[in-house]
Amino acid sequence: ALQFTFNESGQVGDGVLNVENYEEAIRAMAEFDAYELKLNTEIEKIGLCHNRSMLVLSWCFKIREFLRLYREIAHCKLSKVVSKTQYTELLRSFTRIVHLDPRVGSARDMQMNMIHVTSTPDLHYVKNMPATRLQVIRTTLLASVEARRQTPGPDFLEMEDAVLAQHAGELLLEVQESLLFPRVLGMICWQSSVMLTYLNISRKHLEEIIKGDEATLRKERSVVYYTRTFDYLVKEERDELLETLFWLGYIQTMAK
């Protein structure tokens, strides 16, 4: 089903590539229209209670929504700059395909050496956990942020050190709410490219950061791991992402 590839390397208003992308998006949606019609006919025969068919139908709707949003962006790029909000919505729609449930980011804060620090991810992937009186409920599975670059452009392969350092700080603010505490997963996005991240920090180091003991901090080290970037509009790169994202989607929405 996810066979399409769109070239997002063109600049605003260069015309040809964007027109081809727009037409390809329309063709892909037409194919899904035909597939949905066939699927609806099958569901009518076997009854709406057939959970597997309903799951497939729901998945098709998510893909069509993703294609619809991409078509809007492809059309927009012919004449003007695509907004950050549009790309955030496209990423939100793409992650729904893999059964992730994206939400608008909520503010996180932490007291570090008597300084109040806050940050808000653009998208938040949380797992609903039953509340108890005996333990802290941690819900963050994945926090996604839009890269803030001084020189925006299509080349996302070489991220500025300042962007990576800023993201490390944002992961630090998420770690206390992380399902993987004291570790946390993250994602940096730029247009249709994403980079997965992983902060590995010890409880001791986290406590020392909060206390702000500089003498002790020099002895401790934590690590942020970064993948290479993947463009989810390019089939070959998207295929490399899907297994990991489906696994995260299973953890968030299905696993107990």
User: CB of 103 within 8 A of CB of 125?
Assistant: yes
Low-confidence ranges of the chain (pLDDT < 50): 1, 9-18, 133-137, 149-157
Residue 159's identity, in one-letter code, is: M
Residue 83's identity, in one-letter code, is: S
Measured between alpha carbons, how far apart are the two ends of the chain, in Å? 28
User: CB of 5 within 8 A of CB of 233?
Assistant: yes
pLDDT at residue number 95: 92
Tens digit of pLDDT for each residue in 2-25? 555 555 544 443 333 445 556 666
pLDDT at residue number 150: 44
The C-alpha R_g of the chain, in whole angstroms, comes to 21
For the chain, give every domain's residue range.
1-81, 102-253
User: Which residues are CB-neighbours of 5 under 8 A, at least 6 positions away?
Assistant: 233, 234, 235, 236
pLDDT at residue number 94: 92
In 3-state terms, what secondary structure has residue 218? coil
pLDDT at residue number 75: 72
pLDDT at residue number 52: 59
CB atoms within 10 A of CB 203: 10
pTM of the model: 0.73
pLDDT at residue number 181: 82
pLDDT at residue number 119: 66
What beta strand segments (E) does 66-218 contain?
102-104, 108-112, 115-119, 123-126, 140-146, 183-190, 193-200
